[in-house]
């Protein structure tokens, strides 16, 4: 435990592709500190991603890593987890990857309660394709495809995933990095499906268009708008307008999917053995 | 493992499921669609009996994705679908081809495009099976014409996919899928089962996309100490993304070269009276059965007819057709589409024999009489 972070990095694959000031590296740091705090065996960790800036993270990580197609990371991860239920399967995904093209896989993975920990790097925008709106883009903000201001409402992803059946749901930010790392550690340690929304910044395509010129402006925004769940509980709805809760948002105990399937195998194999006897 | 060695009456879809398990299938992900659904139903029942796993995913894209993940974790994997679902799987098929993840994709063809006639046979997906995903890519497409052949050919599908790390499309049709015929299930020990090449070197020396003479890299299962990277981005021998022109070029050419190396080992063709034939039928799938009857009837009437029945559609049996074209007068190509393979036959025949198509697209199979009539004309 308490290995240097480079223990988990493929340093030879650096420098990374991310812009200066991008929050994705901060979130990734939190992921690695979480893994380190759990003392996981690198050979038994599998990190799966979709497509996008966030989804480039696995390439820099010294685990079994899989960079898939846009939106489908959870479906690939489901196959891995089914075959290797002993492995820790972690999905790293962007807000577009998870909530738009991959939204269906997200709610179904949660419904099945399959043992996959998902970290969604939510920068409220499609970074990789240079700034189109995502399902997480706030109403009224600007994107290259919302030049007149965005007219859609974003999801509350955590509520969505919890309602779909996840065992553990939490939200953190790149600014609250220590908290984020603790939440991710809890998510990875969860037996069923777990989900952490990590609010992060894309200064290049979101910040500049939305009157937050620098990464520092955006981190300040995270600091000022993220309210710990305990404080939020004491605040009125009016006080919470425009703000969001950070911390653990939902936990429950439900049977994990691959365990349930293992029970099916036991019954079926027994039936077969009896038939052959 | 298998139900029982010996003769049994089976439905085509059932033979597909049982043959797959005999080949070592241990993970199936699918989404219900006529006329393929019995494959999923059969495997939901059978797989856990052999310690395998079944899952019904939320759609076909999820299904192809899940089987690729499962294959990377070390399990022989398959999905099954029909036209609309096959269209949805195309991006995933390209991913499997590019990352060289073995897997089998069954497509039980029905009338299309779109929802078409869900319950009726067609052969309209022949070109999509070859070129459905974007970009150049290796692919093998096998096509059974009977229930017994479904059983043996699906085993070949797995063996080819594992041996060459190429996705294999198993192109059935509604008639083969739903008819019941006798299958002689061989003893488990009599079934040749091939495993993917796994690394013989230590993790430190492992280059996941470096290939030897056969151009097939060794593949490590996730979770076995070989921590490597898999990406659908163009990658170098280490598996990491590259945009360097020579490396981009090298990957495209190695995959093409691999396909060419595999071709002689994966191209299966059956012949009937082809040796001394003056006119031959080139057919595949259920149409091959009607063609066999037509050819026998023609012979009974004194016409020197023969049959070439392709069990492999892609790679196309070029050499076979070329040699045939050198010695016959004409080749008739009956298909339940507006003429897809006929153009391949034409290309391979290169003007040496007359090539005549025969299309039927009214949702009913082509009859022996229709083929016989065309044989008499040419
Ligand atoms: C099927 C498909 N559609 C579209 C794209 C183009 N595309 C690549 S990344 C991306 C959006 C990524 O946004 P997000 O998931 O939020 O990640 P970010 O780049 O913001 O980290 C899109 C639309 C693609 N690669 N594949
Ligand atoms: S475009 Fe945005 S999300 Fe992508 S690397 Fe740059 S700052 Fe990060
Ligand atoms: Mg984004």
pLDDT digits 0-9 by tens, B240-255:
999 999 999 999 999 9
Cβ of residue A206 lying under 6 Å from some atom of ligand 2: no
**What are the tens digits of pLDDT across the range A214-259?**
999 999 999 999 999 999 999 999 999 999 999 999 999 999 999 9
CATH code assigned to B270-377:
3.40.50.920
Q: By CA distance, what is A49's nearest residue in B?
A: B231
Task: For residue B240, report the distance from its CA to the centre of ligand 2, in Å.
Answer: 20
Domains B6-190 and B270-377 share a fold: yes
pLDDT category of residue A2 using cuts at 50, 70 and 90: confident
pLDDT category of residue A274 using cuts at 50, 70 and 90: confident
Q: Which residue has the higher pLDDT, A267 or B3?
A: A267
Taking CA atoms only, the protein residue closest to ligand 2 atom 5 is A18
pLDDT at B2: 54
C-alpha to C-alpha distances, A183 to A118, A179, A210, B2, B106, nearest whole angstrom: 11, 6, 29, 47, 42
Mutation site, A40, A52, A64, interface B, largest B CB count within 10 A: A64
Q: Which of A27, A52, A58, A207 to mutate to test the pocket of ligand 1 (most atoms within 8 A of CB)?
A: A52
Q: How many CB pairs under 8 A join A and B?
A: 136
Domain spans in chain B, listed from the N-terminal domain onward = 6-190, 203-266, 270-377
Q: Across the strands, what pairs with A90?
A: A47, A117
**What are the tens digits of pLDDT across the range A156-179?**
999 999 999 999 999 999 999 999
Q: Could B62 and A104 be called an inter-chain contact, meaning their C-beta atoms sit closer than 8 Å?
A: yes
Three-class DSSP labels, B152-200: HHHHHHHHHHHHHCCCEEEEEEHHHHHCEEEEEECCHHHCCCCCCCCCC
Whether the predicted pLDDT of A113 surpasses 70: yes
CATH code assigned to B6-190:
3.40.50.970
Q: Could A79 and B27 be called an inter-chain contact, meaning their C-beta atoms sit closer than 8 Å?
A: yes
Q: What CATH number corresponds to the domain at position A130?
A: 3.40.50.970
Spatial distance between the Cα atoms of B307 and B136, rounded to a whole number of angstroms = 32
Cβ of residue A22 lying under 6 Å from some atom of ligand 1: no
* Mean pLDDT, residues A204-220: 97
Cβ of residue A72 lying under 6 Å from some atom of ligand 2: no
Spatial distance between the Cα atoms of B92 and B90, rounded to a whole number of angstroms = 5
Cβ of residue A199 lying under 6 Å from some atom of ligand 1: no
Q: By CA distance, what is B94's nearest residue in A?
A: A69
Mutation site, B1, B45, B219, B222, interface A, largest A CB count within 10 A: B222
**What are the tens digits of pLDDT across the range A122-166?**
999 999 999 999 999 999 999 999 999 999 999 999 999 999 999
Tokens standing for residue A59: 């390439």
Q: How many domains does chain A have?
A: 1
> What single-letter DSSP state applies at residue B206?
-
A99 — contact with chain B (CB < 8 Å)? no
Residues in chain B: 378
Instruction: Using an 8 Å CB-CB cutoff, list chain B residues near A66.
Output: 69, 72, 222, 229-231
**What are the tens digits of pLDDT across the range B265-315?**
999 999 999 999 999 999 999 999 999 999 999 999 999 999 999 999 999
pLDDT at A277: 72
State the residue range of the domain holding A83: 5-276
pLDDT at B1: 46
Which regions of chain B are under pLDDT 50?
A: 1
Cβ of residue A97 lying under 6 Å from some atom of ligand 1: yes
Query: Is the ipTM reported for this complex over the cut 0.90?
Result: yes
Whether the predicted pLDDT of A1 surpasses 70: no
Angle made by CA atoms B10, B372, B125, in degrees to the nearest 5 = 55
What's the gap between Cα B120 and its chain centre? 20
Handedness of CA A98, A104, A105, A110 (dihedral sign): positive
Do A151 and A157 meet the contact criterion of CB atoms below 8 Å apart? no
């Amino acid at each position: 435990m308490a290995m240097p972070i480079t223990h988990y990095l493929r340093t030879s694959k650096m420098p990374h592709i991310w812009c200066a000031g991008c929050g994705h590296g901060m979130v990734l740091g939190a992921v690695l500190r979480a893994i380190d705090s759990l003392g996981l065996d690198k050979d038994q960790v599998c990190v799966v991603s979709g497509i996008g800036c966030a989804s480039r993270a696995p390439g820099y990580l010294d685990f079994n890593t899989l960079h898939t197609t846009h939106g489908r990371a959870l479906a690939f991860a489901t196959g891995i987890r089914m075959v290797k239920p002993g492995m820790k399967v972690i999905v790293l995904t962007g807000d577009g990857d998870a909530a738009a093209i991959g939204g269906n896989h997200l709610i179904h993975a949660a419904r099945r309660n399959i043992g996959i920990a998902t970290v969604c790097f939510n920068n409220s925008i499609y970074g990789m394709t240079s700034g189109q709106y995502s399902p997480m883009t706030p109403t009224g903000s600007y994107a290259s495809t919302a030049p007149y201001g965005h007219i859609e409402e974003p999801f509350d992803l955590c509520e969505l995933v919890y309602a779909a059946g996840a065992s553990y749901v939490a939200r953190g930010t790149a600014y609250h990095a220590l908290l984020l790392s603790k939440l991710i550690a809890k998510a990875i340690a969860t037996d069923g499906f777990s989900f952490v929304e990590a609010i992060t910044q894309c200064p290049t395509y979101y910040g500049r268009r939305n009157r937050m010129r620098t990464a520092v402006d955006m981190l300040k925004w995270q600091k000022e708008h993220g309210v710990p769940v305990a404080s939020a509980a004491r605040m009125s709805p009016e006080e919470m307008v425009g703000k969001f809760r950070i911390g653990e948002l939902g936990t429950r105990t439900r049977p994990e999917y691959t365990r349930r399937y293992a029970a099916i195998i036991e019954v079926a194999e027994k039936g077969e053995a009896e038939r052959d006897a | 493992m298998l139900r029982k060695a010996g003769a049994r009456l089976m439905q085509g879809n059932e033979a597909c499921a049982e043959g797959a398990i005999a080949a070592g299938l241990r993970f199936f992900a699918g989404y219900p669609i006529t006329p393929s659904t019995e494959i999923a139903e059969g495997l939901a029942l059978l797989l856990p009996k052999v310690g395998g796993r079944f899952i019904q995913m939320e759609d076909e894209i999820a299904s192809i994705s899940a089987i690729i993940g499962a294959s990377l974790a070390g399990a022989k994997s398959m999905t099954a679908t029909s036209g609309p679902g096959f269209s949805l799987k195309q991006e995933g098929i390209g991913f499997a081809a590019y990352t060289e993840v073995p897997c089998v994709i069954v497509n039980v063809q029905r009338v299309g495009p779109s929802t078409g006639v869900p319950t009726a046979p067609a052969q309209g997906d022949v070109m999509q099976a070859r070129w459905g995903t974007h970009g150049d890519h290796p692919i093998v497409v096998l096509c059974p014409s009977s229930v017994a052949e479904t059983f043996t050919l699906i085993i070949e599908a797995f063996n080819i996919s594992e041996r060459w790390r190429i996705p294999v499309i198993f192109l059935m049709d509604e008639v083969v899928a739903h008819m019941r015929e006798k299958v002689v299930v061989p003893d488990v020990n009599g079934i040749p089962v091939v495993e993917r090449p796994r690394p013989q070197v230590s993790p430190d020396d492992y280059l996941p996309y470096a290939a030897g003479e056969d151009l097939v890299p060794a593949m490590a299962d996730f979770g076995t100490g070989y921590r490597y990277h898999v990406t659908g981005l163009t990658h170098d021998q280490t598996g990491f993304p590259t945009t360097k022109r020579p490396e981009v070029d090298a990957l495209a050419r190695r995959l093409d070269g691999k396909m060419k190396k595999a071709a002689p080992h994966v191209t299966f063709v059956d012949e009937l009276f082809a040796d001394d034939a003056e006119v031959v039928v080139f057919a595949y799938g259920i149409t091959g059965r009607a063609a066999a009857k037509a050819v026998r009837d023609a012979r009974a009437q004194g016409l020197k007819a023969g049959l070439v029945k392709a069990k492999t559609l892609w790679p196309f049996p070029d050499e076979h057709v070329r040699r045939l074209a050198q010695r016959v007068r004409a080749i008739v190509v009956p298909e339940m589409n507006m003429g897809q393979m006929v153009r391949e036959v034409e290309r391979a025949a290169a003007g040496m024999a007359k090539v005549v198509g025969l299309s039927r697209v009214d949702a009913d199979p082509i009859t022996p009489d229709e083929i016989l009539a065309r044989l008499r004309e040419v």
